[in-house]
Amino acid sequence: MKLFNERSAIVEYGKKLLVSQLTTGSGGNLSIINREENLVAIKPSGVDYTLMKPEDVVVVTPEGKIVEGDLTPSSELRFHLALLQARPEMNAVIHTHQVYATTIACMNWELPAVHYLVGFSGNKVPLAKYATFGTQELSENIVSAIGQYNACLMANHGIVTVGREIGAAFAVAEELELVARLYYQTKCIGEPAILSDEEMVIIGEKFKTYGQRK
């Protein structure tokens, strides 16, 4: 089986999306590129995460040609491949409809630095303009909006995150859901205080040395 490790990771993290309440049913999608083999593993379209097996995960070329797998790849294959091409330092993409981030996206707002954990994305989470799912227009909007950020909101749709590996992309999605919830809740009370870009530069530097280092 090609890309067994990557396909297994997509199954594992698909279930983690459910457990963490970042998606429901078969919603959202995940992909991982193996740059040595120049192949991408991506979730199949419409398959429930609780039922998905490694062999169900589809393997495609960076151009989208199916190399292995009997199922149809995610309807969002186009923007997964575009992001992996545009961001060669990143090897995984996650897209979800997680409730609080999607709420902000449905307001057509960016997610500002209401909490320093927005630093998982950058100094904010930018917003990609709305386009119909699965289209070239949506792919272009996402690549344009995300730039060098690790995430962007998708207007009236959801959120997409990138990471050097799938665990990092998952962490971005999880932490930004907390930030989106805080932003929603503070907006319910009044106008939240937003951290400055200067402070977020400091946060970004501190994040580089956060956690355990080999």
Is residue 145 a contact partner of residue 127, using CB atoms and an 8 Å limit?
A: yes
Active-site residue (options: 55, 63, 68, 76): 76
Residue the block writes with tokens 């995460």:
49
Please state, in angstroms and as integers, the Cα–Cα distance from residue 180 to each residue in 10, 45, 108, following that order: 25, 27, 13
- 76 given a catalytic annotation: yes
Neighbours of 123 (CB within 10 A): 20
Q: How far apart are CA 176 and CA 180, in angstroms?
A: 6
Is residue 156 a contact partner of residue 105, using CB atoms and an 8 Å limit?
A: yes
Query: Which helix or strand (DSSP H or E) is residue 95 part of?
Result: strand 92-96
Structure tokens at 197: 């870009």
Active-site residues, by number, are 76
